[in-house]
Amino acid sequence: MALPRPTAPERIVAGVTFVLVVCAGSGARADTPRQLAYDPALPIPAGYHVEHRTRYGLAISGIALFAAVYVPTAAAAWYDSGDGTPLYVVPVLGPLFAIPTKTGNCSPNDEYSSCDFDDFVTAFLIADAVVQAAGVVMALGGFAGRDLLIRDQAPRTALLPGPIGGAGYGAWLTGRF
């Protein structure tokens, strides 16, 4: 007499039970954190090693901030090159170099004089240089990264239920070394 084939809910319950039993004995250290801040003055705790990690989020944010401000400034230098704006092409310091050529050349008798906007132009160019510098500092800080203490992973193996073939069901042996 052949045994009846288990139904889908019975197979699910059996699989979940099997996974819980296997994972319960895996010896995961839940009481210790996976990573810690590294202080070179302190000894490295047992079970940890030092890894250098690049802060990609900070680096990408810094590049995006710098590009968002520098690209329009460089485009202005290319578009309007007659009155000192080619200095805009120099990253970070270019807007500061361009302040004397963009301001202070007003004549009170000229109705098209830009005397009223000199303070605004100066403030805008200073803000442009500060934001470009902030982007560069963020990108450099992100690429410089930081050192962390990472918990050593013990080799683990697990036998897990899984599909085999078109309609079969079996087990998978997985490992981490």
In three-state secondary structure terms, 48 is strand
Q: What pLDDT score does 115 carry?
A: 65
**Residue 10, domain member (yes or no):** no
How far is residue 158's CA from residue 154's CA, in Å, rounded to a whole number? 13
8 Å CB contact between 88 and 98 = yes
**Residue 22, domain member (yes or no):** no
**Residue 37, domain member (yes or no):** no
Using 50, 70 and 90 to split pLDDT, how confident is the model at 16?
A: low
**Residue 64, domain member (yes or no):** yes
8 Å CB contact between 146 and 35 = no
**Residue 177, domain member (yes or no):** no
**Residue 65, domain member (yes or no):** yes
Q: pLDDT above 90 covers what percent of the chain?
A: 24
**Residue 170, domain member (yes or no):** no
In three-state secondary structure terms, 36 is strand
Please tell me the pTM assigned to this model: 0.62
pLDDT exceeds cutoff 60 at 29: no
How far is residue 98's CA from residue 158's CA, in Å, rounded to a whole number? 66
- The domain of 62 spans 56-146
Burial status of residue 22 (CB atoms within 10 A of its CB: 0-12, 13-18, 19 or more): middle
Q: What pLDDT score does 66 carry?
A: 96
In three-state secondary structure terms, 40 is coil
pLDDT exceeds cutoff 60 at 21: no
**Residue 94, domain member (yes or no):** yes
Tokens representing 74 are: 């460089």
For residues 121-141, average pLDDT = 93
Segment 80-91, tens digit of pLDDT: 766 656 777 888
Phi, psi of 64 (to 5 degrees): -65, -40
Q: What pLDDT score does 142 carry?
A: 95
What's the domain count of the chain?
A: 1
Q: What pLDDT score does 23 carry?
A: 58
Maximal C-alpha separation, the chain:
112
